Structure 1
């Protein structure tokens, strides 16, 4: 090793002053580049990481600004807009239901005719005894707190009580079902008190636009 350095020293001594200066300068450049690599490269890598973080932060800030703008735009709108839309939807449904009820009421027997019809069918039947035929109080189809478009519709029930034999009662019910007039059955209660006599309590109803009692 020492011999090699001696040979390099002899060769270097034989060089001209200009060649010696160039070799010395190149040596300094190599040393400086090495030092720069050791010192600057880690800092450069850290700078790249920092740059990426800055870019990510900028994106986050941009997203946040967009969210703020969107929220501001929403706040500038009517705060009750969603409620108003729901209210309009409910009103539309209420109007649709009211129209359906109007069609239904037009197809039903009127409250003033229903009790007369029940009594007429009973008069045409045999083996039956009428105990009572009463018009019940009309009831609004909805509560007072929910009037809207449906407040003008009322349920008009009629309660019929009679006695008779089983087959006579069956014939009467079949005659009621065969009527062209439309109405609804609300309740039905059949008991045998003393065979073969039974008791029937029947409640039917129709719909009307006025709160009135049915004659009977």
Structure 2
């Protein structure tokens, strides 16, 4: 996943990657034992969050976000901070997350 997000930055004209970091996984649902009626056990569910910091203009950031949304991967947007440094350049911090049944998130 890290490679995918970095590649999107590299492909997007006017966007410079400042930092990309993986935050610790957060367990949202603990694994559950099988029910008395023989139902299969429920697996644990983890949220994996990535913090991405880029420098770009508003137009370049908008194009990058559209590229992220068009990926086959399903992301949840946790937060976005947009701070103009020197017009038209801004520093943008994004927190994107995805869910999985595994504590270790392969590829980040």
TM-score (norm 1): 0.42
> C-alpha offsets along residues 72-96 of structure 1, whole Å, 9 cap, x if unaligned?
xxxxxxxxxxxxxxxxxxxxxxxxx
Asked if 1:125 corresponds to 2:2, the answer is no
Q: State the structure with bigger RCO (CA 8 A, min sep 6), 1 or 2.
A: 2
Larger radius of gyration: 1
- Higher fraction of helix: 1
Match of 1:116 in 2: 3
Structure 1 residue aligned with 2:103:
211
Gaps of 5+ in 2: 33-40
1:90-127 deviations in Å (ceiling 9; x for gaps): xxxxxxxxxxxxxxxxxxxxxxxx32221111111111
RMSD, aligned CA: 1.9
Runs of 4+ in 1 over 3 A off after TM superposition: 213-216
2:78 is equivalent to residue 191 of structure 1: no
Q: Structure 1 or 2: larger strand share?
A: 2
Q: Does 1:154 align with 2:41?
A: no
Q: Distance in 2 between matches of 1:184 and 1:137?
A: 16
TM-superposed deviation, 1:150: 5.2
Task: Provide the residue aligned with 2:60 in structure 1.
Answer: 168
Q: What displacement does 1:214 show?
A: 4.8
TM-score between both structures, scaled by the size of structure 2: 0.80
Unaligned 5+ segments in structure 1 are 1-113
* Deviation, structure 1 residue 140: 0.2
